Amino acid sequence: MPRKARVTEQERERRLEEWAASSGVELGKVEASQKWVIYAALTFLAFVQGVAPLRRLVGYLLCHCGMGLSTTLIGAVVGTTGRAVRNGQQYEPAEFWKRLRVQRRGHAPPKLRREQVGPVAKFLAAHKKCSVAELLAFIKQKLDVEVDRLTLRRFLKRYGLGCLREEEVHDSPLLPALLRMEGRSS
């Protein structure tokens, strides 16, 4: 069996520069040993192409390889975001393997659901001057759902609940409909 020619350092640099230019990555701060690891990962990913579980596995391995690669750089290598890499990085190997085997379809289900609009609307109507932290605490305590500020903002916007923090809340045609929704969910 003929042996493939070994990749020279110049060839590796050329290929990495092409990849960096196309992905918008700055390779100036990356050490030579890290470049070899990135090059190996890119070569493997080119071989497996669109097999998503293998891409996620490569990202996980790069996170834990001890080379000090940033999650943003790893995300660029595997074709995802640094946030997605950080989310996957937190799992123990057994949990990561379990999640890797389960195929995900689409987005994760929302933490706050349509049935929960009523209680949130009722709380906002009763506590017009409440802070975001107080609203988050209410949601955690009463609905047993823990959300961040961005998720809360999207929820309030999606269901038009921002108007409930204003003084003219009692004149809003939205309030009776929201309170009726709460009655159905109970």
- The string of pLDDT tens digits covering residues 112-139 is 888 899 999 999 888 888 888 899 999 9
Q: For the chain, report the end-to-end CA distance as a whole number of angstroms.
A: 71
* Residue-level pLDDT at 153: 87
- List the Cα angle 110/115/144 in 5-degree steps: 65
Instruction: State the Cα–Cα distance between residues 142 and 111, nearest whole angstrom.
Output: 14
Span 171-181, mean pLDDT? 50
* Residue-level pLDDT at 139: 92
Span 143-156, mean pLDDT? 88
Nearest Cα residue to 149 out of 157, 141, 166:
157
* Residue-level pLDDT at 102: 78
Give the other-Cβ count within 10 Å of 130's Cβ.
15
Instruction: State the Cα–Cα distance between residues 85 and 134, nearest whole angstrom.
Output: 31
Higher local confidence (pLDDT), 160 or 4: 160
Its pTM stands at: 0.54
Span 130-149, mean pLDDT? 90
* Residue-level pLDDT at 103: 67
| pLDDT surpassing 70 at residue 186 | no
Phi, psi for residue 129 in degrees, rounded to 5: -100, 15
State both tokens at 180.
């009726």
